[in-house]
């Protein structure tokens, strides 16, 4: 009898090692502990034993039965745990996994710069106005007090559609539109494309961008112009940026000036890119609105004064990002564009 029990146990142990899924474990349970199972058969055979042998055999069979039951239970747990582990593993999400996103573009540097400029002026209380790129000779030159023989009027400088219509060579025509159409006081900026018959080189392009600024009110002075320029330049470039004013001439402002800023490459020390002057190329032209221009727009020049300036947005971008060639802004080279 003892031998039989040992044999059953040995068989069970080798079979349970092979049982790797819940079905096989259940089969084993039936084969050993079920109604016709090995252990049950052993229990039945006790009846055939002598009185003396019975208690010992019963004890051994019970022990074996418990052992088998425990082993089945443990194996069951083990297989269930493994299944769960495999399931978790299969459902794991790798958050670092790479997938091909659709490529999304962004605004060009020049448009970013224009938006930045507009928002600086908006914060200073200016209205942002949009105007046409194709404009009239009247608004672009005549009403701006430009003499008939002014060189900018020639076809070698400006692109004409016909005798009266042209591609605007500056945004100053927006001064006229706004003064004619809007109520006083005026505080506006207007940015956009302008066109000139220029050869392409490192600092020139036949299409570039300007931002026009105009303020008209009672008692507007040169001090207001300087304060506005200084506030905006510091806002755009930081406190270290210095401004230099040079006298100049424009038909539509009197007095007129041009403004340079600290060279962004050498920070004013002098370097080859600024010709050792420490100042970058002119950023803007401006001045006090000429009384004749005010009168052309029906504004009483005895009562009202104004200042205006037009700045080169491309040059602002070049100073801001330390670019030495305007063509970078228009070449559409991805290696350049992607840096912004």
Residues that bind ligand PHE (CB under 6 A): 170, 172, 250, 253, 256, 285-287, 308-310
Minimum CB–partner distance for residue 212 and ligand PHE (Å):
6
| Nearer CB in complex with ligand PHE: 80/150 | 150
Q: Collapsing DSSP states into helix, strand and coil, what is residue 167?
A: strand
| Nearer CB in complex with ligand PHE: 172/305 | 172
Minimum CB–partner distance for residue 249 and ligand PHE (Å):
10
| Nearer CB in complex with ligand PHE: 126/309 | 309
Q: How far apart are CA 23 and CA 32, in angstroms?
A: 14
| Nearer CB in complex with ligand PHE: 42/313 | 313
Minimum CB–partner distance for residue 334 and ligand PHE (Å):
32
Minimum CB–partner distance for residue 238 and ligand PHE (Å):
24
Which among 141, 137, 133 is positioned nearest to 194, based on CA atoms?
133
- Residue 181 φ then ψ, to 5°: -100, -25
CA end-to-end distance (rounded Å), the chain: 88
| Nearer CB in complex with ligand PHE: 32/252 | 252
Minimum CB–partner distance for residue 252 and ligand PHE (Å):
6
Minimum CB–partner distance for residue 104 and ligand PHE (Å):
35
Q: How far apart are CA 30 and CA 38, in angstroms?
A: 9
Output the CA angle 214-220-225, nearest 5 degrees: 60
| Nearer CB in complex with ligand PHE: 192/287 | 287
Q: In which region does residue 201 sit, left (phi positive, over 0), alpha (psi from -120 to 50) or beta (all else)?
A: beta
Q: For the chain, give the number of residues.
A: 340
Which among 37, 326, 114 is positioned nearest to 205, based on CA atoms?
326
Neighbours of 26 (CB within 10 A): 14
Mutual angle of helices 22-33 and 38-45, in 10-degree steps? 10
Structure tokens at 38: 């090995």
Q: Collapsing DSSP states into helix, strand and coil, what is residue 157?
A: coil
CB 245 within 8 A of CB 222: no
| Nearer CB in complex with ligand PHE: 195/279 | 195
Minimum CB–partner distance for residue 330 and ligand PHE (Å):
19
| Nearer CB in complex with ligand PHE: 222/265 | 222
Which among 289, 291, 288, 272 is positioned nearest to 280, based on CA atoms?
272
| Nearer CB in complex with ligand PHE: 131/287 | 287
Minimum CB–partner distance for residue 250 and ligand PHE (Å):
4
Minimum CB–partner distance for residue 308 and ligand PHE (Å):
4
Based on the number of CB atoms within 10 Å of its own CB, is 272 exposed (0-12), middle (13-18) or buried (19 or more)?
Answer: exposed
């Amino acid at each position: 009898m003892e031998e039989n029990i040992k044999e059953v146990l040995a068989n069970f142990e080798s079979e349970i090692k092979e049982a790797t899924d819940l079905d096989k474990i259940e089969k084993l349970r039936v084969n050993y502990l079920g109604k016709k199972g090995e252990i049950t058969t052993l229990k039945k055979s006790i009846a055939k034993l002598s009185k003396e042998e019975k208690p010992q055999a019963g004890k051994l069979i019970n022990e074996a039965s418990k052992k088998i039951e425990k082993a089945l239970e443990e194996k069951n747990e083990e297989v269930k745990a493994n299944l769960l582990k495999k399931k978790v593993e299969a459902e794991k999400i790798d958050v670092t996994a790479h997938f091909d996103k659709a490529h999304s573009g962004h605004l060009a540097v020049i448009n970013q710069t224009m938006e930045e400029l507009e928002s600086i002026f908006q914060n200073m209380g200016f209205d942002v106005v949009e105007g046409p790129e194709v404009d009239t000779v009247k608004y672009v030159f005549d009403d701006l007090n430009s003499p008939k023989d002014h060189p900018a009027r020639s076809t070698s400088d400006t692109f004409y559609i016909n005798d009266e219509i042209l591609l605007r060579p500056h945004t100053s025509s927006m001064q006229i539109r706004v003064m004619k159409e809007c109520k006083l006081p005026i505080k506006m900026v207007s940015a956009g494309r302008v066109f000139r018959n220029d050869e392409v080189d490192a600092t020139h392009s036949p299409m570039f961008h300007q931002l026009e600024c105009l303020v008209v009110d009672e008692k507007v002075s040169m001090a207001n112009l300087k304060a506005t320029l200084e506030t905006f330049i510091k806002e755009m470039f930081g406190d270290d940026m210095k401004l230099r004013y040079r006298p100049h001439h424009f038909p539509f402002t009197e007095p007129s000036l041009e403004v340079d800023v600290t060279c962004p490459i050498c920070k004013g020390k002098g370097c080859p890119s600024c010709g050792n002057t420490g100042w970058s190329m002119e950023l803007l032209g401006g001045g006090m609105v000429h009384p004749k221009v005010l009168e052309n727009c029906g504004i009483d020049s005895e009562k009202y004064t104004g200042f205006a300036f037009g700045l080169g947005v491309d040059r602002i971008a070049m100073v801001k990002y330390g670019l030495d060639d305007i063509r970078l802004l228009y070449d559409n080279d991805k290696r350049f564009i992607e840096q912004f």
